[in-house]
Structure 1
Amino acid sequence: MKHVFSVLSVTCIAFFTIFLSTTNTGCKKGDDGAKGDTGTANVMYSSWLDVNFDPAVNTAGDTVAWTAEITAPKITKTILDSGTVKVYLNAGTAASPAIFPLPIADFYYALTGVENLNLYFTVGTINLYATQDASTFTSSGAKSWQYRYVIIPGGVHTGRSAVNWNNYEAVKDFYNIPD
Structure 2
Amino acid sequence: MKHMFVRCTSVFLFSALLLFTACKKGDTGPAGEKGDKGDAGAAGATGAAGKAGSANVIYSPWIDVTFNAVDTSFEASIDAPKIVDSIIQKGEVKVFWNINTQTAPAIVALPYQDNGLIFGAKDFYQFPIVQTGKIFIESTYNTSTRPSSSDANVKVWQYRYIIIPGGVGARSATDWNDYKQVQKYLGLKD
TM-score, normalized by the shorter chain, greater than 0.5: yes
Is 1:91 the counterpart of 2:99? The answer is yes
Is 1:49 the counterpart of 2:63? The answer is yes
Equivalent runs, 1:115-134 vs 2, <5 Å? 115-134=124-143
The runs of 5 or more residues in structure 1 that have no matched partner are 1-27, 58-63
Larger Rg: 2
Is 1:146 the counterpart of 2:158? The answer is yes
Q: Cα deviations across residues 98-146 of structure 1 (Å, max 9, x unaligned)? A: 1000011143x31366711111111000010100101000121210000
User: In the superposition, relative to structure 1, how do residues 132 and 32 fare at CA in structure 2: closer, same or farther (>3 Å)?
Assistant: same
User: In the superposition, relative to structure 1, how do residues 123 and 30 fare at CA in structure 2: closer, same or farther (>3 Å)?
Assistant: farther
User: In the superposition, relative to structure 1, how do residues 143 and 81 fare at CA in structure 2: closer, same or farther (>3 Å)?
Assistant: same
Contact 1:51 1:136 in 2 (8 A): yes
Is 1:40 the counterpart of 2:79? The answer is no
Instruction: Report percent identity of matched pairs.
Output: 38
Q: Which amino acid aligns with 1:178?
A: K
Alpha-carbon distance between aligned partners in 1 of 2:81 and 2:45, rounded to the nearest angstrom = 37
1 or 2, which has the higher helix percentage? 1
Q: Which amino acid aligns with 1:125?
A: K
Give the equivalent residue in structure 2 for 1:168. 179
Cα root mean square deviation, aligned: 2.6
Give the equivalent residue in structure 1 for 2:168. 156
State the 4+ residue runs in structure 1 displaced beyond 3 angstroms. Answer: 28-39, 111-114
- Describe the SS at the equivalent of 2:168: coil
The runs of 5 or more residues in structure 2 that have no matched partner are 1-40
Equivalent runs, 1:68-107 vs 2, <5 Å? 68-107=76-115
The number of residues matched between the two structures is: 145
Alpha-carbon distance between aligned partners in 2 of 1:112 and 1:132, rounded to the nearest angstrom = 9
User: 1:158: Cα distance to partner?
Assistant: 1.5
TM-score normalized by the length of structure 2: 0.68
Equivalent runs, 1:17-32 vs 2, <5 Å? none
Alpha-carbon distance between aligned partners in 1 of 2:73 and 2:42, rounded to the nearest angstrom = 63
TM-score normalized by the length of structure 1: 0.72
Q: Cα deviations across residues 39-69 of structure 1 (Å, max 9, x unaligned)? A: 4111100000000000103xxxxxx110000
User: 1:71: Cα distance to partner?
Assistant: 0.4
